[in-house]
C-alpha cells in the first residue's frame, strides 16, 4: 500500500465517497421502472440485480442491468487509478462502489448481492484475474446449475488467482487488488447467507428452475 503516500487523505476520502455514490445507483430498479415492468423489488427474490430482473421476462433489461452493475464498479476503479496514478486509490474507489451496490443510500441501504459488480471490478483491476474468476463461475454453473454456488466459488477463488505467479499475464496482482478481492469475497459470502443456508438444505433453486413463491 506504499502508493497511498502520494494522494492526500482528503482526496482518497473524496474518491471513496464518489465511488460509493456511483455504486449506489440502482440500475435494476431504474431500468425496470423505465421499461414499465414495475418495481423489481416486488418481483421474485426482491433483489435489484440482473438475476431478479430476468424474472420480469425481459432478457434485454437483465442484460442491461448486468452490464451497468458491472460497469459502475469498473468505472470507479479505473477513473481513480488513472487520475491518481495509484492502484490503492483504484481499489478504494472500486471497493466503495461495491459497498454502494450492496448498501445503496437511495434504497435504504438495501441493495444487491454484488456478483456483477464483483466481476466488473476484477476485470478492471486485473483482467486475467477477472477472466479466470468468470471462467470459474461458468464452469461451476454449467456443471452444478446453481448460480449462487458458482458466485461463491468464483469469489473464493479470486484471491487465490491473484497470488498466482504468472508475470506474463500480469499476475500476481498488485497488493491492493489482492486485498480488494478478499474484501469483496467476504462481503459476497455475507450477502449470500440465505443462499448458503438453502444450498446446505438442498432447497436452492437451480438455474432455469422456477423460483418458489
Per-residue model confidence (pLDDT) at position 51: 86
Mean pLDDT of the chain: 92
Across the range 168-172, mean pLDDT stands at 92
Interval 2-16: pLDDT, tens: 555 545 788 889 999
User: pLDDT tens digit string along 70-121?
Assistant: 999 999 999 999 999 999 999 999 999 999 999 999 999 999 999 999 999 9
- CA dist 203 to 43, 91, 132, 194, 197, Å? 19, 36, 28, 11, 8
Residue 193 has pLDDT above 80, yes or no: yes
For 27-70, how does the pLDDT look when each residue is reduced to its tens digit (9 = 90+)? 999 999 999 988 899 888 888 999 889 888 899 999 999 999 99
**CA-based nearest residue to 54, from 63, 212, 46:** 63
The residues, ordered by sequence, that sit 6+ positions from 201 with a Cβ below 8 Å of its Cβ are none
CA distance 158 to 122: 8
The confidence score (pLDDT) of residue 209 equals 64
pLDDT for residue 198 is more than 90: yes
State the pLDDT at residue 212: 46
Would the pTM of this model clear 0.85, i.e. be above it? Answer: yes
* pLDDT score, position 38: 86
What is the pLDDT averaged over residues 189-210?
89
**DSSP state letter for 205:** P
User: Hunting for cell 466481476 — which residue is that?
Assistant: 119
Mean pLDDT in residue range 138-156:
96
User: Which pLDDT value is given to residue 165?
Assistant: 95
Amino acid at each position: 500500500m506504499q502508493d497511498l503516500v502520494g494522494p492526500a487523505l482528503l482526496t482518497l476520502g473524496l474518491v471513496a465517497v464518489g465511488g460509493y455514490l456511483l455504486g449506489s445507483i440502482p440500475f435494476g430498479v431504474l431500468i425496470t421502472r423505465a421499461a414499465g415492468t414495475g418495481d423489481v423489488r416486488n418481483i421474485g427474490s426482491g433483489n435489484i440485480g440482473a438475476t431478479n430482473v430476468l424474472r420480469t421476462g425481459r432478457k434485454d433489461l437483465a442484460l442491461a442491468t448486468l452490464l451497468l452493475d458491472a460497469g459502475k464498479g469498473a468505472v470507479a476503479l479505473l477513473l481513480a487509478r488513472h487520475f491518481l496514478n495509484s492502484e490503492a486509490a483504484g481499489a478504494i474507489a472500486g471497493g466503495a462502489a461495491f459497498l454502494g451496490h450492496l448498501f445503496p443510500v437511495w434504497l435504504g441501504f438495501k441493495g444487491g448481492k454484488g456478483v456483477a459488480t464483483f466481476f466488473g471490478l476484477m476485470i478492471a483491476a486485473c483482467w486475467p484475474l477477472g477472466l479466470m474468476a468468470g471462467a470459474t463461475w461458468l464452469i461451476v454453473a454449467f456443471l452444478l446449475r446453481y448460480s449462487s454456488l458458482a458466485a461463491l466459488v468464483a469469489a473464493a477463488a479470486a484471491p487465490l488467482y491473484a497470488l498466482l505467479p504468472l508475470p506474463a499475464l500480469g499476475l500476481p496482482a498488485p497488493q491492493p487488488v489482492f486485498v480488494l478481492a478478499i474484501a469483496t469475497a467476504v462481503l459476497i459470502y455475507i450477502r449470500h447467507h440465505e443462499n448458503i443456508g438453502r444450498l446446505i438444505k438442498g432447497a436452492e433453486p437451480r438455474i432455469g428452475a422456477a423460483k418458489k413463491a
